[in-house]
């Protein structure tokens, strides 16, 4: 039997390492990973200097390597990203996004939502409702212009829901990193944005699951069944499975608390990752995207002793540093700006950018204004909530794979995502400058000093009163004078309250 020495000996036997071989598909895959990660890091370096998130660099790398730029170079795509290699590349990229959405779930601070529930609900819901409504409006034009109902078999209602979801989401992971880079996590604007962003994220995944359900359901009855199965799994994960998981991890958490261990055990990590894959498998087979199941598991990992943060640290390096760039580069590879070759294409592009930004800005402004904050603060919350980034790319890629978006509309929304995400940081710094933050901090300090002085005066007055009543001195006040003294104390407390008000 003859042996293919080229595939065994490699380049020594004359094999071309960039020629895709089904017997060793990982050879070309490793080269693709190397190119993507290196280019992403090189492009991210200048972008990081202007406080831009890494996802922008990763998508731009995909656009540069795709049909818009390098794809126009003869034989480049056939050599580096041949069509036969894309199934294995896509497989790894989708595993990456499953693990990444699990990490996003880990970052959701449920106690933080409960603590700021009122403002989170108000700002989060209004901030989604306005762009959702605007998305429903522009969906009609996109449906008539770019989609053929006869060929796609897609109803306008399903299409409208998805476009509206794509317009109203906020990228919570990117938002957190922007707030950290601007040192706003402990600022009142940062707290409001984080609270609303967490809720926005949760509602966004639910709405995305709903839109994918509508696509996968062949009739209205199936839609109800899929939703019931999804709700049943949601309840099962949040209650019985969460309790069992906490019980299994109890001893490991105890060791971390006592200092016996510095990080979760391999067994704990294995159980959590396997549960993530089980949940992703279930949500995928019932007709909801697998990323929704991964996100759910991230929510139920115990937060005690910073256990969820330690799990995040163990996985984030390989997932965010190596695997996730593949997914976002894949999104860029599917984007072809050459398709946007008419005036109406760019008119829709500019219109969608304006509507997406204005809707989030207005929603954040109105929601925050209801709590009486200054206009500058409300404006800043609206700008921050307009950040799209990672969440939007996942939504768009999911829609493209599900047949909800054509390549042209996908490219339009990619442009919108890059523009709105890029503008978030500079506009935030413009609307909420350092001098304004220092002025707020100075005002807060002065108010605290006044409040402390008032409290110390009350304590001093109370101490004097107690000393007078406890002494046996014949000069101590009688009951009538004590009554007068009590009246004076009441009047004093009112004056303090009025001054604080």
Rounded Cα gap, residues 261 and 77, in angstroms: 48
Give residue 203's pLDDT: 84
For residue 495, what pLDDT is reported? 38
- The whole-number pLDDT of residue 149 equals 66
Q: How far apart are CA 81 and CA 368, in angstroms?
A: 47
SS3 74: coil
What pLDDT, on a 0 to 100 scale, did the predictor assign at position 24? 83
For the record, the structure tokens of 496 come out as 């303090």
DSSP for 78-103? HHHS-GGGHHHHHHHHHHHHHHHHHH
User: Using one digit for the tens of pLDDT, what is the confidence trace for 190-240?
Assistant: 888 988 887 887 788 788 888 888 877 666 677 788 888 888 999 999 999
Residue position matching structure tokens 């522009």:
138
pLDDT at position 195: 84
Average pLDDT over residues 105-127: 84
Give the pLDDT confidence score for residue 448 in this predicted structure.
Answer: 53
Task: Find the angle CA(412)-CA(410)-CA(210) to the nearest 5 degrees.
Answer: 120
For residue 484, what pLDDT is reported?
A: 43
pTM: 0.78
User: Which of 395, 386, 437 shows the shortest CA–CA distance to 414?
Assistant: 395
Query: Can you point out the beta strands (E) in 293-364?
Result: none
Task: Using a pLDDT cut of 90, give the percent of the chain over it.
Answer: 50
- Cβ atoms of 286 and 222 within 8 Å: the answer is no
Dist. CA 76–CA 163, nearest whole Å: 33
The two structure tokens encoding residue 4: 């293919």
pLDDT grade, residue 186 (50/70/90)?
A: confident
Asked whether the beta carbons of 407 and 332 are under 8 A apart, the reply is no
Point out the least confidently predicted range of 138-147, 321-330, 433-442, 479-488.
Answer: 479-488
The residue among 353 and 305 whose pLDDT is bigger is: 353
Confidence of residue 110 (pLDDT cuts 50, 70, 90): confident
Task: Please state, in angstroms and as integers, the Cα–Cα distance from residue 189 to each residue in 16, 127, 150, 437, 469, following that order.
Answer: 56, 15, 48, 10, 49
Q: Is residue 329 within 8 Å of 57, Cβ to Cβ? A: no
Contact (CB, 8 A) for 117 and 306: no
Which range is least confidently modeled, 103-112, 267-276, 311-320, 335-344? 103-112
The answer to whether the beta carbons of residues 353 and 414 sit under 8 Å apart is: no
CATH topology of domain 99-306+343-430: Na+/H+ antiporter like fold (1.20.1530)
Of 410, 366, 376, 374, nearest to 392 by C-alpha is 410
Q: What is the torsional sign of CA 477, 482, 487, 488?
A: positive
Which residue would you say has higher pLDDT here, 480 or 269? Answer: 269
Domain ranges across the chain = 99-306+343-430, 441-500
What residues contact 158, with CB distance under 8 A and at least 6 apart? 211, 214, 215, 404
pLDDT, position 84: 93
CB-CB contact of 355 with 134 (8 Å):
yes
Q: Which residue is associated with the tokens 């990456």?
A: 96
> Residue 24 has which token pair?
């060793």
Q: What integer pLDDT is reported at residue 17 of this predicted model?
A: 80
pLDDT at 489: 36
Question: Taking 80 as the threshold, does the pLDDT of residue 31 lie above it?
Answer: yes
pLDDT value at residue 111: 76
Helix (H) or strand (E) holding 116: none
* Average pLDDT of the chain, as a whole number: 83
| Poorest-pLDDT segment among 14-23, 31-40, 132-141, 429-438 | 14-23
Distance CA 194, CA 208 (A): 21
Q: Which of 67-71, 130-134, 404-408, 481-485 has the lowest average pLDDT?
A: 481-485
Q: What DSSP element (H or E) covers 486?
A: helix 479-500
Inform me whether the pLDDT recorded for 397 exceeds 50: yes
């Amino acid at each position: 039997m003859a042996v293919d020495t080229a595939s065994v000996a490699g380049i020594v036997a004359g094999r071309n390492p960039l020629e895709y071989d089904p017997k060793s598909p990982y050879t070309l895959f490793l080269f693709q990973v190397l190119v993507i990660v290196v280019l992403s890091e090189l492009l991210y370096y200048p972008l990081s200097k202007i406080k831009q998130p890494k996802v922008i660099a990763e998508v731009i790398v995909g656009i540069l390597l795709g049909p818009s730029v390098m794809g126009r170079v003869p034989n480049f795509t056939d050599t580096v990203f041949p069509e036969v290699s894309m199934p294995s590349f896509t497989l790894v990229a989708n595993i990456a996004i499953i693990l990444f959405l699990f990490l996003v779930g880990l970052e959701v601070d449920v106690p933080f939502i409960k603590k700021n529930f009122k403002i989170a609900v108000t700002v989060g819901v209004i901030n989604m409702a306005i762009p959702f409504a605007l998305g429903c409006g522009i969906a009609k034009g996109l449906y008539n212009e770019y989609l053929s109902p006869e060929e796609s078999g897609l109803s306008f209602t399903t299409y409208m829901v998805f476009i509206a979801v794509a317009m109203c989401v906020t990228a919570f992971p990117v938002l957190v990193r922007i707030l950290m880079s601007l040192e706003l996590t402990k600022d009142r604007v940062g707290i409001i944005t984080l609270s609303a962003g967490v809720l926005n994220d949760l509602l966004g995944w639910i709405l995305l699951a709903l839109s994918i359900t509508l696509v996968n359901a062949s009739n209205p009855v199936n839609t109800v069944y899929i939703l019931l199965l999804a709700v049943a799994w949601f309840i099962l994960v949040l209650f019985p499975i969460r309790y069992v998981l906490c019980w299994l991890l109890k001893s490991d958490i105890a060791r971390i608390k006592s200092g016996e261990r510095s990080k979760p055990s391999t067994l704990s990590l294995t159980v959590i990752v396997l549960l993530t894959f089980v949940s992703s498998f279930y949500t995928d087979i019932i007709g909801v995207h697998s990323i929704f199941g991964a996100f759910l598991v991230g929510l139920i990992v115990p937060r005690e002793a910073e256990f969820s943060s330690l799990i995040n640290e163990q996985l984030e390096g390989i997932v965010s540093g190596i695997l996730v760039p593949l997914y976002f580069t894949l999104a860029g590879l599917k984007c072809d700006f050459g398709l946007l070759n008419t005036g109406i294409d760019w008119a829709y592009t500019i219109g969608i950018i304006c509507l997406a930004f204005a809707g989030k800005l207005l929603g954040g402004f109105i929601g925050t204004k209801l709590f009486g904050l200054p206009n500058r603060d409300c404006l800043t919350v609206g700008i921050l909530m307009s950040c799209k980034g990672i969440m939007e790319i996942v939504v768009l890629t999911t829609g493209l794979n599900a047949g909800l978006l054509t390549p042209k509309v996908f490219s339009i929304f990619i442009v919108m995502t890059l523009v709105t995400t890029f503008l978030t940081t500079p506009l935030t710094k413009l609307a909420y400058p350092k001098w304004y933050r220092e002025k707020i901090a100075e005002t807060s300090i002065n108010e605290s000093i006044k409040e402390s002085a008032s409290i110390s005066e009350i304590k001093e007055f109370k101490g004097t009163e107690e000393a007078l009543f406890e002494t046996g001195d014949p000069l101590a006040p009688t009951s009538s004078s004590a009554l007068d003294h009590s009246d004076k104390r009441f009047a004093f407390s009112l004056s303090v309250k009025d001054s604080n008000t």
